[in-house]
Amino acid sequence: MQRLHGGREAVFLDGPGGSQVPTVVIETMVDFYQTCNVNTHGCFPPSHEVDRRLALARETLAAFLGAAGPDTISFGQNMTTLNFALSAAIGGTLQAGDEVVITQLDHEANRGPWLRLQERGVIIREVKLKESGELDPSDMASKITSRTKVFAIGASSNALGTVNDIALGRRLTSAVGALLVVDAVHYAPHFPVDVQAMAADFLLCSGYKFYGPHVGVLYSKPGALDRLPTERLCVQDPAAPYRIETGTLNHAAIDGMRAAVDYLASWGKGTTLRERIVDAMNGISAYEHRLAGIYHDGVRRLPGIHVFGPDFTSRSRAPTISITLDKHTAAEAARALGAQGVYVWDGHFYAARAVECLRLAERGGLLRTGISMYSTDGDVRRLLDGIEQLA
């Protein structure tokens, strides 16, 4: 990003709301529009080229998520839209009295679509959030019972940076034969995702959070999507991964998202694409963790500042840190920092239930800093200087 603010480089610490895009991603999309902006499955060369690029995008996203193959990867407008389609399809297999478990920590995109199923008589249970910013494991164990059909949980919180215990969620759901649906929107930009290690039935993420354009991605375990009564046209391919993809997709953006994953992989070493992705994401994780640690350490020493979310000693924490200030609301602080060219978010970021549970809603929520792979020590310094003035 080449934006200046008052003659200085602007500081983008708003990554959890959407990341900046590398030039190669923009160039890929420009090239798509200039050379093959036609629809799929035609009998002429540019259409073959679109088919080839979409197939490559599915392969690349499968490598990004550690999936078995390209047929596990569906695309959509964004995570929220795909999750509404998924929850409605799963809802079609449920009976009144069946239970779906969600969490108090999750983004509304992984709560609202499931809460809608109450209209069909489905009972929704909610795993409690502790003051520490972590989900309560004993509450999770008590909520997931033989009546549970789905557990929908985020891999990482976009509000507090918590990394949730997905392995526990899988053990509990496997024991009762329930589906595990993972929202990896906030996790995917910061850690290597391995859907097979997680043994997720479904996992969702969103390209604009990991340096790509706006495209939603749904991973479905082989066979899982084929069993669902998705909303679709009679002319549509009923097989996975197409079974849940309605209408014409944003082909240029999908190609751009593929370029974003290749860009990420270019930072890693290895012989296969998957090896390069995992190596790169481990490197990005370590880099971001160090910077976030500097911010966390600095900000918690300032007077009148309260830091939320889990302790920062563990590597297993996303580099997303939220605070409140005694002397200012989050919006006032974000506005003051924004005026200095330091861009951070305020409010609840759609993790409204978590902010409500922490009793912060009336006070205007949290001031959230997101470290991304392009963040620097200088960015963190400018942020800390700005917050020190406010504190």
Ligand X SMILES: Cc1ncc(COP(=O)(O)O)c(C=O)c1O
Q: Does 80 bind ligand X (CB under 6 A)?
A: yes
- Inter-residue contact 99 to 123 (CB < 8 Å): yes
Q: Does 190 bind ligand X (CB under 6 A)?
A: no
Interacting span for ligand X (CB under 6 A) from 87-95, 180-188, 237-245, 323-331: 180-188
Q: Does 369 bind ligand X (CB under 6 A)?
A: no
Least distance between ligand X and beta carbon 88 (Å):
15
Residue 135 in 3-state DSSP?
strand
User: Which residues are paired to 34 by β-bridges?
Assistant: none
Among 185, 337, 373, 391, binds ligand X (CB under 6 A): 185
Q: Does 107 bind ligand X (CB under 6 A)?
A: yes
DSSP 154-177: ESB-TTT-BB--HHHHHHHHHHHT
Least distance between ligand X and beta carbon 97 (Å):
28
Q: Which two tokens stand for residue 9?
A: 């480089």
- DSSP code at position 199: T
230/249 Cα distance (integer angstroms): 17
- Inter-residue contact 163 to 155 (CB < 8 Å): yes
The smaller minimum CB distance to ligand X, of residues 70 and 112, is found at 112
Q: Does 346 bind ligand X (CB under 6 A)?
A: no
Name the CA radius of gyration of the chain, rounded: 21
Q: Does 154 bind ligand X (CB under 6 A)?
A: yes
The smaller minimum CB distance to ligand X, of residues 257 and 299, is found at 257
Total residues at the site for ligand X (CB under 6 A)? 15
* CA dihedral over 210, 192, 56, 247, signed as positive or negative: negative
The smaller minimum CB distance to ligand X, of residues 113 and 293, is found at 113
330/137 Cα distance (integer angstroms): 30
Interacting span for ligand X (CB under 6 A) from 47-55, 77-85, 92-100, 191-199: 77-85
Least distance between ligand X and beta carbon 66 (Å):
19
Least distance between ligand X and beta carbon 304 (Å):
28
Least distance between ligand X and beta carbon 323 (Å):
18
102/149 Cα distance (integer angstroms): 11
Among 9, 38, 48, 78, binds ligand X (CB under 6 A): 78
Least distance between ligand X and beta carbon 189 (Å):
10
Q: Does 15 bind ligand X (CB under 6 A)?
A: no
Among 158, 220, 320, 372, binds ligand X (CB under 6 A): 158
Please list every residue from 192 through 251 that binds ligand X, using CB under 6 A. Answer: 206, 216
Q: Give the start-end residues of each E strand in the chain.
A: 4-5, 8-9, 11-12, 73-76, 99-103, 123-127, 148-154, 179-183, 202-206, 216-220, 305-308, 320-325, 342-343, 345-347, 366-370
Among 183, 201, 255, 379, binds ligand X (CB under 6 A): 183
Q: Which two tokens stand for residue 20?
A: 């900046």
Q: Pairing mode, if any, of strands 123-127 and 179-183? A: unpaired
Contact residues toward ligand X (CB under 6 A) are: 16, 78-80, 107, 109-110, 154, 158, 183, 185-186, 206, 216, 350
